[in-house]
Amino acid sequence: MNFKILFNVVPALFLAGCAGNGGGSKDLAPYQNETLSLEERVEDALSRMTLEEKVAVLHAQSKFSSAGVPRLGIPELWCTDGPHGIRPEVLWDDWDQAGWTNDSCTAFPALTCLAATWNPEMSALYGKSIGEEARYREKDVLLGPGVNIYRTPLNGRNFEYMGEDPYLASRMVVPYVQEVQKNGVAACVKHFALNNQETNRQSVNVVVDDRALYEIYLPAFKAAVQEGGAWSVMGSYNKYKGEHCCHNQYLLNGILKRDWGFDGVVISDWGGAHDTKQAVENGLDLEFGSWTNGLDWGASNAYDNYYLAHPYLELLKKGEADEKTLDDKVRRVLRLIFRTAMNTRKPFGSLNSPEHLAAARRIAGEGMVLLKNEGGVLPLDPAATKRLLVVGENAVKMMTVGGGSSSLKVRHECLPLEGIRTAAEAAGCEVAFERGYVGDLRTEFDGVNSGQDLSETRSEEQLIADAVAAAKEADAVIFVGGLNKSRHQDSEGSDREQYGLPYAQDRVIEALSAANPRLAVVLVSGNAVAMPWLDRVPAVLEAWFSGSETGNALADVLFGKVNPSGKLPFTFPVRLEDNGAHAMGEFPGGDSVRYNESIFVGYRWHDAKAIRPLFAFGHGLSYTTFEVENVKADRMSLSAKGTLRVTADVTNTGDRAGAEVVQLYVGDEESTLPRPVKELKGFEKVMLEPGETRTVAFEITPEALSYYDDTKGEWTAEPGAFTAFVGVASDDIRGSVNFTLE
């Protein structure tokens, strides 16, 4: 019998039975009584636990679970990989599948796509939906979302994160966390901190100055903890200041727990702990993994040999570790259990519901970014497009399988070709397909197999020739390419090896552009890519990894059912050398990696060096047009405790309803220390009918003008002159106002 499921279905009966008392709430032990405060319950449970029981709740007992206290009726904790969907069940101590037939989930778009919506309402919908799926599957901790900063286009795990800007990531992560946790499921915000590459990820020591740490790499985590109220945080594999981040005195005990007041649990990444003494003293609360090192080797009775298991117990018994530190860890784990597994008031959740599929489709459609659109190629006009050609392996390759821990098992993934064909044929348009290129033929990851046969007998030359011949006969061509979830592309565990498109896709695109002027390139990726063919292609759409409803969402945008409104959450440089991490810093480094570009990440670097990007941070087009004008401030100076209000009028000047994202940037004109030309400090997504005008308003406080002064170890809002810039991309400013901070 699955006692965890029984506990959640009939919680009151279960608790009463465990207590051995009749069944009335007055007979419950204090820790079982949900009318008492959380801290009262924690202290009561702690007082009843033996030393062995305390240590037992601090480490894994299986691949994804940790022990409770059976004697007291305190249930175990179950984690699941996210952050894009609920991972299928695996064996007790193996990454392979458990063979369940009822664990297919809804795959939601990757977090790059969510960030590209620039819409906190979409983040709330995402968190609510994925939280309901986790709750239905009886999961207590969702291992996500990820908010590590996009430092370089070569990071293989960028697709799991929310872009290059700390303000955007901060505003998008908070609703996700809040809505997940309304389901009685803990969000586990990851990977704390400075996990910006996969190369040597378990050993590399990140060398970064305090300004960059506090201004760029920490704000989204801080927002998730202090505003989102995250119940758990996952440490990262890499080192900082020479200590592994899963037990790092400076990050965990100093910043997270002391400075930010975090009362939740620090969970190790799987196999991220390396030393018992450091794990005990430097802030780790719950150790996960499998086998002894968490990944690939072990001893008999492996879980008891974890660093926070028998080795910790022996230190305690010998008096070489203090119980005060132990009790703090146990309190945190008990809080997590009471908030999740022992919460009898949480909803039941749902899985693969029509509402979740609709949410995935809506988020995907709103996150897709129209990068270029000339000559009216998009949206496709069915009346003028009777013969449509789709080219590209990514039009027929499943993207929910693979990529590392975010790999999922779905009941059905609507592929781009399927979605396009369904929409086109409904409009009387005939659709043909040519593969164009061959990428990765593998279709399996950790026991999940897509069931696809991607074998191909034609040569590269023949594939291109066949695609060109078909393109010459078509009214329009849609090329669906980009990256995939294979090693050295968008995947956990390895970084990209090149900035350009793989599998000779540039050759295919160039040949298609010569064969048919009505060509639209659709990129499926979680990263920026080089586009040497851009001047010969009239339309480019970034479609991301969009989950279960990819094909339908893509068709919605291509045929104009959805007017694109996504904006890039990171910069597309022309060349890799135009990125600060590659121009001035190190990547991937060796034993250490130096962030010499400091605070100048993404658009901050491009602005400082006057480097024109391929596509700027915040860029995204629409099928309609917008004007942003009348940028004003309600005063010319801001007091130390005051608020400055900046307004602008945005008008839909086209003939379609659509949404524009109005963006506020602020620049410091008289700074003692170097500062970016401008930094994002506000944004609002505005939906407008044709001809409609709305006024958007932003409030600027001294806090928004501050920087971290590493010479003093504190945040400083320096008096002087500032400029507020209002625009629709970091390189498309429509108006500005000057003001002073008194």
Catalytic residue positions, numbered: 269
Other residues' Cβ atoms within 10 Å of the Cβ of residue 481: 26
Beta bridge partners of 582: none
Q: Which two tokens stand for residue 99?
A: 């063979």
DSSP per residue, 300-312: TTGGGGSTTSHHH
Q: Which two tokens stand for residue 461?
A: 């030359």
Give the C-alpha distances (Å, rounded to integers) separating 412 from 352, 373, 442.
10, 31, 18
Q: Which two tokens stand for residue 301?
A: 């009775």
Query: What is the strand order of the sheet 232-235 is part of?
Result: 65-66, 77-81, 141-143, 186-192, 232-235, 265-267
Place of tokens 């897709």: 368
Q: Which two tokens stand for residue 619?
A: 């860029």
Whether the CB-CB separation of 340 and 265 falls below 8 Å is answered with no
| Rounded CA separation 195/204 (Å) | 10
Strands (E), 327-410: 369-373, 387-391
CA atoms 712, 717, 722, 723: torsion sign: positive
Whether the CB-CB separation of 191 and 146 falls below 8 Å is answered with yes
Sorted by sequence, the CB contacts under 8 Å of residue 354 that are 6+ apart come out as: none
If we measure between CA atoms, which residue out of 719, 741, 659 comes closest to residue 694? 659
Place of tokens 């809040």: 178
If we measure between CA atoms, which residue out of 191, 211, 215 comes closest to residue 201? 191
Sorted by sequence, the CB contacts under 8 Å of residue 706 that are 6+ apart come out as: 715, 716, 717, 718
Q: Which two tokens stand for residue 446?
A: 């950790």
If we measure between CA atoms, which residue out of 147, 113, 318, 312 comes closest to residue 217? 147
Strands (E), 366-428: 369-373, 387-391
Q: Please state whether beta strands 644-652 and 693-700 pair in parallel, antiparallel, or not at all (unpaired).
A: antiparallel
φ, ψ (nearest 5 deg) of residue 329:
-65, -45
Task: Give the single-character DSSP code of 88.
Answer: P
Whether the CB-CB separation of 31 and 335 falls below 8 Å is answered with no
Other residues' Cβ atoms within 10 Å of the Cβ of residue 330: 23
Peptide bond into 193 cis (omega under 30): yes
Peptide bond into 379 cis (omega under 30): yes
Whether the CB-CB separation of 209 and 674 falls below 8 Å is answered with no
Beta bridge partners of 646: 633, 698
Place of tokens 């629709």: 728
Q: 72: helix, coil or strand?
A: helix
Whether the CB-CB separation of 163 and 570 falls below 8 Å is answered with yes
Whether the CB-CB separation of 180 and 129 falls below 8 Å is answered with no
φ, ψ (nearest 5 deg) of residue 243:
-110, 140
